[in-house]
Structure 1
Amino acid sequence: MAEDLKKMYRTVKGDHFPSEIRITFGDQTLVYRKRTWKIEVEPGIIEERGLRYGENPDQEAALYELANGNLILGECEYIEPGLGLVSSLREEDLLQFGKHPSKTNLTDIDNALNILRYLSKKPCCVIVKHNNPCGVAYGETIAEAFIRAFRADRIAAFGGAIALNRPVDKACAEAISEQYFEVVAAPEYEEGAVEILKKRKNLRIIRINRIDQLEKYWGLRVVEFKSLMDGGLIVQQSQVNKVKGPEDLKPAVAVKPDGTEVRCRREPTEREIEDMIFGWAVEIGVTSNSVLFVKDQCTVAIGTGEQDRVGVTEIAIFKAYTKYADLLCYDRYGIPYKQLELEIRQGKRPESQKIEIDEETKAARAGLPGSVMVSDAFFPFRDAVDVAIREGISAIIQPGGSLRDWESIEACNEAEPPVAMVFTGQRVFKH
């Protein structure tokens, strides 16, 4: 039975989707061509195949590249052909197939690029797992960016997809090869880096030529399709980040029911503004409802996909504590925190080791003090703000627009020390 399950994940399913798809919008037509590669399906047997499989091994899937058509609807001109990233991968870009890519691998990289296009100023790493970022960080070098992003959530990064916006050097390759990942994508690989990465035989090593030009994609929209279970479709424009710099941040001001104006008293510092802009770029790629914390242009914790905002805030805080304790344990004893708990139960380690880590984590409040809170939508109540302030967050960026914005602003003003808050005027739900 176990061998059957392993075989299921090794299988290349193939597909029955057509080589070309045409989508007509009134009198305008977009033409998409299926992307396939020549791969070794069995030792010595080369076949032309598309995606390995879909989200699960029993789902057929296909990858299509926009080949023709310049769609204009109203005042919006959508992305043109010839700008392919993930959809235009060729055999020579797949430097190591590993278990050649599935739908999940490529959509993970695509969402990483969706975030990276807003973070081009410095070397940056985005690690994605199940189409959500689990660690994002700037660094002075690309190796430092990877290490910071990995250490932001070492647990969730396991088996994830890495996207980097600078060429991978040997130092970065060595750091990546020490861990287990499924995919790494970069604009280029310096001499010797690929050989180091190939120590991981199943790692998909991908070169995406336009990653170094991602900033050009900032304002480009695509048409997004959501298929309904009854065969219907919902069509929408893709999201575009409207926060390019400090000038796009708006003062947190609201009016109480009695007509009194409430204004956030403290202005954010330069460091907090940098973290706000960084965090908002990351938030674009996080499944809603979401709240995340950022400090020194690195994610501290990311809460995703919850139905209520105070709940996702509490989950993000819980994750911060969990990751902080795990990293302490890993640095100190070379094992995960959960492994430490197991070995204590088995009598292999003294409980004092866990107590010490727990106390240090609590004393540091998981590194949350001084971090910026980022929310993809307004706070309907002040409860989520209060929960975060108790953990020491120093600033908040959120869309604004709630009837109770004044309550959240008052929570910031009442804090000791006061907390800064700004509005973006833009909601960034992602479903």
Structure 2
Amino acid sequence: MSDLKKMYHTLQQDPFPADLKLTLGDQELTFKKRTWEIDGETKGLRYGENPDQPAALYEPVEGHLEIGGVKFIGAGQGLVSALTEEHMLQAGKHPGKTNLTDVDNALNILQYLSQKPAALILKHNNPCGAAWTDEGVSVALKRAFEADRIAAFGGAVVVNRTLDLATAELINSVYFEVVAAPDFDTDALAELKKKKNLRILQIPGISELEKLVQQPFLDIKSLSDGGMVLQFSFRNALLKTDDFIPAQAEKDGNVFLARTPSKQEAEDLLFAWAVEAGVTSNSVLFVRDGVTTAIGTGEQDRVGCVLLATTKAYIKYADLLSSKELGMSLFELKLAAIKDPEMKAQLTDIEKRTEEARGGLPGSVVVSDGFFPFRDGVDLCIDQGVTAIAQPGGSIRDSEVIAAVNEASPQVAMVFTGQRSFKH
């Protein structure tokens, strides 16, 4: 069994060339393989998505791409691909593909959240928890962690402000694989370095992410037959609350119009839509007061997204109660409850309070990356006490979906985004 563990610690030999060139018509882009001098050795990526997949990271170094009159992100604008030894403040076990793509997707989200200190925890290229607040990154990270402390284990932490000591102490109190920030306070860095396997990445460009908001990158999807699909990367069209579209539909000569969100609801919807840009579709997000309260991702049906999100919310809520009150996870409590009557009583009490609190979802807003094809998903959201919903609109049943929020008591707000946010 000990031999099996070696696969996770063995560096794959990198057979990829030092340079890569991409020609599109009469335009040429040149990329250079990124390597680092670590412990006296030249090392590239640890490995790809799995330990038996060699991988290489390439940075654009020459050429700029323009398609259809739109200029793409290119040489000189590097973030993750531009990491040098200077920025790798601690290599830890040194990064593999999944570590860096988690950080990259966090930056994809954070480009829309520059207005406030924000913190994200990512795992498997999806956010576990996300939060922003005027109270600073330590508060944001604490709230993001408590949104889903189960999934956060072994994740990547990324913040958009200088990382301070309070944030570092929180990070070290849990197991994380990667932490990235635009800068680190001296005492915070010393604290983080106590965890020798932690990858600590300084990415100065995080402070200027807002400059990339409307500039796409060339998004390349490789097919299993060696073919490729090229597309413009997703660009969020909703950068302020005024960008939401009133939810309105007509059917049989009748006009259906939803309630307009309050200021707080609109701000939460805007935050949720920014986070949605980094979530695998189909997905829905629940948010309250600038913190994700539930994330349902990767489902094939829309109502399934809602069911997944709400189910997870109840589990995470009960787990947080168990952790804070008993110092054990929900699953440890369930195991103890099998033999210990006192623990069984504690479990019953926590489950009862979780049901009464509806998993902490009441007062949340919801965003959906695609329209609701039926009202069933909306009705489920309403049952959990949500107050406002944003979705692309454009379904033949928009009138029924609007009717659902209008029939709710109290009435639930709804707006359209006017764009879909699928991420495959």
Q: What is the TM-score with the length of structure 1 in the denominator?
A: 0.97
CA distance in 2, matches of 1:327, 1:200: 25
List aligned pairs for 1:248-327, cutoff 5 A. 248-256=243-251, 258-264=252-258, 266-327=259-320
The counterpart of 2:183, out of the listed 183, 188, 207, is 188
Q: Matched residue of 1:425: which SS?
A: coil
1:29 has 2:22 as partner: no
Q: Give how far 1:350 is off.
A: 2.8
Task: Give the corresponding residue for 2:65.
Answer: 71
Unaligned runs of 5+ in 2: none
Tell me by how many angstroms 1:312 deviates: 0.8
Q: Is the 8 A contact 1:394 1:419 kept in 2?
A: yes
Distance of 1:354 and 1:56 partners within structure 2 = 38
1:56 counterpart = 2:55: no
Of 129, 133, 149 in structure 1, the residue corresponding to residue 123 of structure 2 is: 129
> Superposed, which structure 2 residues align to 1:26-425 within 5 Å?
26-40=25-39, 46-139=40-133, 140-256=135-251, 258-264=252-258, 266-347=259-340, 349-425=342-418
**How many Å separate the matches in 2 of 1:132 and 1:5?**
27
Tell me the residue number matched to 2:421: 428
> Matches of 1:73 and 1:232 in 2, distance apart?
20
Q: Deviations over 1:126-176 (max 9, x none)?
A: 110000001000131111011011111000000000110011111111111
Q: How far did 1:315 drift?
A: 0.4
Q: 1:97 is matched by which residue type in structure 2?
A: A
> Which residue in the other structure is 1:18 paired with?
17
Stretch deviating more after TM superposition (290-299 or 8-17): 8-17
Q: CA deviation at 1:311?
A: 0.5
1:126 and 1:149 in contact (8 A); partners too = yes
Percent of residue pairs identical: 57
Give 1:112 shift: 0.5
CA shift for structure 1 position 80: 2.8
Separation in 2, partners of 1:278, 1:230:
38
Cα pair distance change 1:348/1:35, threshold 3 Å:
farther
**8 Å Cα contact 2:333-2:343 kept in structure 1:** no
1:348 deviates by 7.5
CA contact (8 A) 1:52 1:100 kept: yes
1:220-268 per-residue CA deviation (whole Å, 9 max, x = no partner) reads: 1011111111111111110001001122010000111x2322111x221
Question: How far apart, in 1, do the equivalents of 2:366 and 2:109 lie?
Answer: 18
RMSD of the TM alignment (CA)? 0.9
Q: Is the CA contact (8 Å cut-off) linking 1:309 and 1:379 kept in structure 2?
A: yes
1:183-224 Cα deviation digits (max 9, x unpaired): 000011101111111222211011001111111111110111
C-alpha separation in 1, matches of 2:337 and 2:64: 63
Amino acid at match of 2:65: L
| Residues in 1 aligned to 2:4 and 2:288: alpha-carbon distance in whole angstroms | 41
Mapped partners of 2:371, 2:194: distance in 1: 46
8 A contact 1:343–1:349 mirrored in 2: no
Indicate the SS of the match to 1:307: coil
- Paired letter, 2:319: D
In 1, are the aligned partners of 2:74 and 2:217 still within 8 Å (CA)? no
**AA matched with 2:10:** T
CA distance in structure 1 between the aligned counterparts of 2:398 and 2:245, rounded to whole angstroms = 13
The answer (yes or no) to whether the contact 2:19–2:31 under 8 Å persists in 1 is yes
- Write out the 4+ residue segments of structure 1 that deviate beyond 4 Å after TM superposition: none
1:14 touches 1:49 (CA, 8 Å); kept in 2? no
* Structure 1: segments with no counterpart, 5+ residues: 41-45
Over residues 277-308 of structure 1, what are the superposed CA-to-partner deviations in whole Å (9 max), with x where a residue is unaligned? 00000000000000110000100010000000
Output one character per residue of 1:80-117: Cα deviation in whole Å (capped at 9) or x when no partner.
31110000000111111111000000000000010011
Secondary structure at 2:354's aligned position in 1?
helix
Contact 2:336 2:344 in 1 (8 A): no
- Is the contact between residue 221 and residue 240 of structure 1 (CA under 8 Å) also seen in structure 2? yes
Q: CA–CA distance in 1 between the matches of 2:69 and 2:389?
A: 33
Q: Report the residue type matching 2:397 in the other structure.
A: R
Specify the alignment match of 1:43 in structure 2.
none
Deviations 1:375-401 (A, max 9, x none): 001000000000110111010011101
How many angstroms apart in 2 are the aligned matches of 1:346 and 1:114? Answer: 47
Q: Provide the C-alpha distance between the structure 2 equivalents of 1:349 and 1:20, rounded to a whole number of angstroms.
A: 64
